[in-house]
Amino acid sequence: LDIPRERYHIHCDGALFAMMMPFVDWAPEVSFRKPIDSIAVSGHKMLGCPMPCGIALTRKEHVKKVEQRIDYLNSVDTTIMGSRNGQAALYLWYSLRKKGIAGIKRDVVHCMETAQYLRDKITEAGLTCRLNDLSSTVVLERPMDDKVIKRWQLACEEDIAHVVVMPNVTKPKIDKFVEELVECKNTFGRMQPKREDSPLKKLECSSWGGLAVA
């Protein structure tokens, strides 16, 4: 595009998976050795902090653009809003100390393996679902019964739903969930694509993991 480097900013929105990628053997490395300017990672997802929070990392030259000298604090403030939740930082520290590297890796391995188990069980049940190789989020055709959606608190978009597999999700819980999906399918039928370019239709793309069940 012939745009000068100083005219654009590359931000990596790590969200949930930025805390998981370092513990997935086949995941690419995301670091400042690459030409990125900043990265954000959530603290209330994999680490389980009780309030929404996260960490943003950026290069020093960008920090210089927002820092301000605060006389009454006798220090330099580098936050965007001039303040931040100290309790969130304490929870992050506690979670990291309690879990440790081994504990976080154990949680990540559990999430990845359990997500694959969920994908396989849904596929075996004759329903379309997909799972990206670098994700613990299983995308599936939307159940026809809203009671199932509300009971399992499924996040839906048009004709699809998705399940984010976290450390608290177990195989027995998945078995019960799939059992209710099958009951829903037998009673109400299956969701059909709303249009040619609908989210469910896009699940047929071969770039996803898993199978598209016709």
Task: Render pLDDT for 112-159 as a digit per residue (tens, 0 to 9).
Answer: 999 999 999 999 999 999 998 889 999 999 999 999 999 999 999 999
Is the model's pLDDT at 180 over the cut of 90?
Answer: yes
Model confidence, pTM: 0.87
- Residue 211: pLDDT over 70: no
Quote the pLDDT of residue 212.
57
Buried b / exposed e along 144-153 (16+ C-beta atoms within 10 A) = ebeebbeeee
Residues marked active site are found at: 135
Alpha-carbon torsion angle 23, 28, 30, 33, nearest 10: 120
φ, ψ for residue 49, nearest 5 deg? -65, 140
Task: Find out whether 158 and 194 touch, Cβ atoms under 8 Å.
Answer: yes
Q: What is the mean pLDDT of residues 85-98?
A: 92
Q: What's residue 162's pLDDT?
A: 96
Tokens 């370092």, located at residue: 22
Give how far Cα 144 sits from Cα of 141, 147, 163, 178, 197, Å.
Answer: 9, 9, 16, 14, 20
How far apart are the C-alpha atoms of 74 and 111, rounded to whole Å?
45
Q: Is residue 213 predicted with pLDDT exceeding 70?
A: no
Per-residue pLDDT tens for 29-46?
889 999 999 999 999 999
